[in-house]
Structure 1
Amino acid sequence: MAARPQPTARRIGSGHALRQMRKEAGLTLAQAVDGLPFDESTLQRVETGWKSFRQGSHLRALLERYGIEDEEEIDRLVTLQREGASREWWTGVSTSLLSGMPRFLGVESAAREIRIFHPTAVPGLLQTEAYARTLHQLHKPIDEITTEFMEESVRLRMRRQEALTRDEEPLKLWAVLYEPALRYPIGAPHVMREQYTHLAELATRDNITLQVLPQTEGAYVAFHDVNVMSLGDGLPTTVQTDTAWATVAVSDKPKEVHRFSRQFDAMVAGALPPMDTPKILHQLVRETEG
């Protein structure tokens, strides 16, 4: 049985369908909303999955303008929009999230497969609790965050990781681990030893592929984090990266998705094969014991 879609997935799905209907009707955003009780900005945010219509009558009026007469299709979209307005699992902490983080969490929760790379640390979905906490502690005086915010961020990160080990349709993850980032000591040796052991255990799972990218002359390395999230079911692939302004940027624009995908593919081509990963990780464990 397929997992029930998250609210963000339902918003993205219905928004994507509405955008296709508008294009098939040959209407611009301005033409589509002309005379209706909402503006272009609202429709654009609905089409991109950022929000749902507050009133079903607004959606029905829009569908009538698009020439949609199939009552079953109308009811399906109204239901998707209504369910898309329901609470996400992280709603209780949303007030303290970085700008763009709620959108990212929604897309990540809806993703079926994620390809990820981070140039300076182990990716968040693969971090142990101790590694994540130590990393936040290092950034605490720089980012001027409170201990409460730090602990909440760690709990949120651990909660996100549950998608990798759930019984029903676990999230597929393909991560490229940059060797300098992998070796960089985040905290005491026991923190790194636990992190390497955790990675080795995850590498044995069928839904997780880990490759190590060595520091080799001529090999391509992205200087920013790369996160490519595939949602399936005809929904747009979405990419994410953190910015220098402590915000989370998310986009499903084809040009940006293709660029991030090319970056990831280039690093995969330069990385060691997955079968070598356990040996590398076990060697790193031994080095922390010395």
Structure 2
Amino acid sequence: MSASPRPSVRQRRLAAELRRLREDRQLTGDDVAAELSWSTAKVSRIENARTGARLSDVRRLLSLYQVNGPHHDELIALAQDAAQKGWWEAYPSIGPDYAQLIALETDARKALCWENLVVPGLLQTESYAREVISGWQIVDTLTPQEIERRIEVRLRRQQVVERATRPLELQVVLDEAVLQRRIGDPAVMIEQVSHLLRMSTLPHVEIFVLPLDAQQRILGGSFTLLEFPSLYDAPFPDTVHTESLTLHYLESERETNMYRLAHHHMTKAALSPDESRVFMQSSIDHWA
């Protein structure tokens, strides 16, 4: 079974754009089905990304909607991309929610993170990740092989931050408690905070430390708001994911804006990136 039965970001982009084009032409699903000798259910499945759209079907739809030129070529390219499997589908045991998170991160332009428990997965070192993932043994029995697979997946996720082309922009607010909370032994913490310090010097990564004595009025749990570029002339909604023992996703404009405002407030309350680097260095000295 595929690790990601949910439609990918690119499948959903394509589906939404095909639906928009139909509506722009003032056609109903029944009209399209009659013109192409399809069932109305097939049109609905394509437009709701419940089934992958075959390239030949996309070509017929674009012809019906009289889409030509660059827009036509971009949507064909999007359809081709949507048909490709992600690397995470080789790990069926990670589950659909985690696979969805990886797919979202892969296509996102920017991530706004607030973390008050542990270092975000995209910035974890291997030894720190091993300690965090092994801790799940308390609530979920994992074989040694599964632990190794999960560590491998977590490290592969980080490619989106390190890739040469269009790396994921990160704005991370870390509660001071994250730097004080011991995960593993002091050597693990020294390595992890040193890694954060190095990553914070990258032009597309900003890390803000929120001191425990700062005025913090928003006491919600950790979250990440993912923002997406408009690719192939097909937009995609911002998405918030929250994580405790399970993952949850929010996409309504009102809800995602609430999290954006919360993140903005916390960056203003936190130390500046330069001050945060000084603070992280003091944390390294503490663990040493």
Answer whether TM exceeds 0.5 for this pair: yes
| 1:68 aligned residue | 66
Q: Which of 126, 135, 138 lines up with 1:141 in the alignment?
A: 138
Q: Which of 87, 90, 106 lines up with 1:89 in the alignment?
A: 87
> Is residue 223 from structure 1 mapped to residue 223 from structure 2 by the alignment?
no
Q: Distance in 2 between matches of 1:74 and 1:33?
A: 21
Q: Distance in 2 between matches of 1:191 and 1:216?
A: 26
Q: Distance in 1 between matches of 2:214 and 2:23?
A: 47
| 2:166 aligned residue | 169
CA contact (8 A) 2:46 2:52 kept: no
Q: Distance in 2 between matches of 1:269 and 1:203?
A: 17
Q: Distance in 1 between matches of 2:66 and 2:84?
A: 25
Describe the SS at the equivalent of 1:212.
Answer: strand
Q: Which of 21, 36, 39 lines up with 2:38 in the alignment?
A: 36
Distance 1:226 1:21, change over 3 A: same
CA contact (8 A) 1:224 1:241 kept: no
> What amino acid sits opposite 1:153 in the alignment?
R
Describe the SS at the equivalent of 2:248.
Answer: strand
CA contact (8 A) 2:176 2:209 kept: yes
CA contact (8 A) 2:225 2:241 kept: no
Q: Distance in 2 between matches of 1:177 and 1:83?
A: 35
> What amino acid sits opposite 1:103 in the alignment?
Q
| 2:3 aligned residue | none
Q: Distance in 1 between matches of 2:44 and 2:97?
A: 18
Give 1:1-290 correspondences, 5 Å limit.
8=8, 10-26=10-26, 36-37=38-39, 38-39=41-42, 42-46=45-49, 52-54=52-54, 56-57=56-57, 59-60=58-59, 62-63=61-62, 67-70=65-68, 73-74=71-72, 76-93=74-91, 95-216=92-213, 218-233=215-230, 235-244=235-244, 246=246, 248-289=247-288
CA contact (8 A) 1:111 1:171 kept: yes
> What amino acid sits opposite 2:11 in the alignment?
R
How far is 1:64 from its partner? 5.8
CA contact (8 A) 1:163 1:171 kept: yes
The CA RMSD over aligned residues, in Å, is: 2.9
How far is 1:259 from its partner? 2.0
How far is 1:70 from its partner? 3.0
The aligned length equals: 276
More displaced 10-residue stretch of structure 1: 150-159 or 36-45: 36-45
How far is 1:110 from its partner? 1.2
CA contact (8 A) 1:29 1:43 kept: no
Identity %: 24
1:176-221 alpha-carbon deviations (Å, 9 max, x no partner): 1111122111111111111111111111111110000122364134
Describe the SS at the equivalent of 1:135.
Answer: helix
CA contact (8 A) 2:172 2:207 kept: yes
How far is 1:168 from its partner? 2.9
More displaced 10-residue stretch of structure 1: 69-78 or 8-17: 69-78
> What amino acid sits opposite 1:179 in the alignment?
E
More displaced 10-residue stretch of structure 1: 69-78 or 120-129: 69-78
Q: Distance in 2 between matches of 1:131 and 1:283?
A: 19
Describe the SS at the equivalent of 2:54.
Answer: coil
